[in-house]
């Protein structure tokens, strides 16, 4: 971040908002409203599989520093279907003092579908940040998605020994919580403790609503291929919850993409159609 005169936006950090409304129009899911402030944007929608729209979320600065405040608000209307992904990891850099924030709010109306597949979040040592994701579902809405958190950079044996990351993930249906969790990482106790990350720098969560026992068995069959790191699947009512701890991001990313490919026909009645940006 380039510093500037005290009181300017450059001194305070990026203040960025992106609000999207997606609705079904003439058989296709369209972005019918968009409000954008600061460096958050989307590319034009892609339609590689007909009605669902594929959206690529862009943050040109490429990272979050102290003082940044980013907010993404996506609303999916009744019968609409959006798949949202990103071109690369989000990096939370070392802070000189102020906290960096990123808030994500997703609201899905009845019979609406949101698939949320961001790349991993990488937290550099010394980062002071908060990441809050909130998913609000109507009765017959569907959500499939994941979040992957990487504390430090394992490829160079770098650990998140200093700094603080407050991570929140909440899923509600009809305003009632199906799942709510908080992870606060600050120092070795949370990195290595048996009630923390147990020495694993990568923590990942996969969520899918509309699941049943058959979907759970499909997921467990795929999890049998996971080796070298702990991973487990739980079914809570119709919510499939999969958690993993790992030494590196790549094995978990591959596992989650494979899970999505396995489960999409049962959950959404559609075959897997990977965003083409994943191949670049």
Q: What is the pLDDT of residues 96-122, one digit of tens each?
A: 989 999 999 999 999 999 999 999 999
Q: What is the C-alpha separation between 204 and 145, in angstroms, rounded?
A: 11
What Å distances lie between residue 60 and 150, 151, 159, 260, 280, CA to CA? 21, 22, 26, 28, 17
| Structural domains in the chain (count) | 1
The predicted structure's pLDDT at residue 163: 93
Three-state secondary structure of the chain: CCCCCCCCHHHHCCEEEEEEEEEEECCEEEEEEEEEECCCEECCCECCCCCCEEEEEECCCCEECCCCEEEEEEEECCCCEEEEECCCCEEECCCCCCCEEEEEEEEECCCCEEEEECCCEEECCCCEEEEEEEEEECCCCEEEEEEEEEECEHHHCECCCCCEEEEEEEEEECCEEEEEEEEEECCHHHHHCCCCCCCCCEEEEEEECCCCHHHHHHHHHHHCCCCCCCEEEEEECCEEEEEEEECCHHHHHHHHHHHHHHHHHHHHCCCCCCCHHHHC
The predicted structure's pLDDT at residue 5: 30
The predicted structure's pLDDT at residue 52: 98
**Does residue 2 lie within any of the structural domains?**
no
pLDDT at residue 191 above 90? no
**Does residue 6 lie within any of the structural domains?**
no
Domain that holds residue 199: 13-279
What number is the average pLDDT over the span 148-167?
94
Average pLDDT, the chain: 92
Q: Please state, as a whole number, how many other Cβ atoms lie within 10 Å of the Cβ of residue 166.
A: 16
Confidence of residue 10 (pLDDT cuts 50, 70, 90): very low
**Does residue 3 lie within any of the structural domains?**
no
Contacts of 280 (CB under 8 A, 6+ apart): 87
**Does residue 185 lie within any of the structural domains?**
yes
The predicted structure's pLDDT at residue 72: 97
The predicted structure's pLDDT at residue 8: 37
**Does residue 116 lie within any of the structural domains?**
yes
What number is the average pLDDT over the span 61-82?
94
Instruction: Name the residue with tokens 């606060």.
Output: 184
What Å distances lie between residue 23 and 55, 70, 182, CA to CA? 14, 24, 32
The predicted structure's pLDDT at residue 19: 98
Q: What is the pLDDT of residues 69-78, one digit of tens each?
A: 999 999 999 9
| Strand 121-123 relative to strand 142-151, pairing | parallel
Q: What is the C-alpha separation between 190 and 9, in angstroms, rounded?
A: 34
**Does residue 82 lie within any of the structural domains?**
yes
Q: Please state, as a whole number, how many other Cβ atoms lie within 10 Å of the Cβ of residue 135.
A: 24
pLDDT at residue 1 above 60? no
**Does residue 7 lie within any of the structural domains?**
no
Which of the residue ranges 20-29, 58-67, 199-208 would you say has the lowest mean pLDDT?
58-67
pTM of the entire predicted model: 0.93
Is 150 or 187 the better-scoring residue by pLDDT?
Answer: 150
The predicted structure's pLDDT at residue 193: 78
């Amino acid at each position: 971040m380039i510093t500037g005169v005290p009181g300017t936006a450059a001194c305070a950090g990026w203040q960025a908002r992106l609000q999207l409304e997606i609705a079904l129009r003439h058989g296709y899911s369209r972005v019918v409203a968009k409000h954008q402030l600061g460096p958050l944007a989307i590319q034009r929608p892609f339609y590689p599989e007909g009605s669902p729209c594929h959206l690529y979320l862009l943050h040109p600065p490429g990272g979050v520093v102290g003082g940044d405040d980013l907010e993404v608000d996506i609303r999916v209307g009744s019968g609409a279907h959006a798949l949202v992904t990103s071109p690369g990891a989000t990096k939370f850099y070392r802070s000189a003092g102020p906290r960096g924030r990123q808030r994500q709010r997703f609201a899905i109306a009845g019979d609406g579908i949101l698939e949320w597949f961001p790349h991993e979040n990488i937290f550099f040592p010394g980062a002071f940040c908060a990441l809050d994701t909130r998913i609000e579902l109507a009765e017959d809405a569907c959500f499939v998605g994941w979040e992957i958190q990487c504390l430090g950079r394992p490829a160079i044996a770098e650990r998140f020994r200093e700094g603080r990351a407050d991570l929140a993930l909440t899923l509600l249906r009809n305003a009632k919580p199906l799942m709510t969790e908080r992870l606060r990482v600050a120092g070795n106790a949370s990195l290595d403790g048996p009630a923390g990350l147990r020495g694993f720098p990568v923590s990942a969560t996969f969520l899918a609503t509309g699941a049943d026992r058959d979907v759970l068995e499909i997921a467990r069959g795929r999890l049998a291929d996971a080796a070298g790191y702990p991973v487990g699947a739980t079914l809570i009512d119709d919510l499939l919850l999969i958690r993993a701890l790992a030494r590196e991001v790549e094995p978990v990313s591959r596992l989650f993409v494979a899970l999505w490919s396995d489960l999409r026909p049962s959950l959404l009645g559609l075959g897997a159609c990977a965003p083409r940006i994943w191949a670049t």
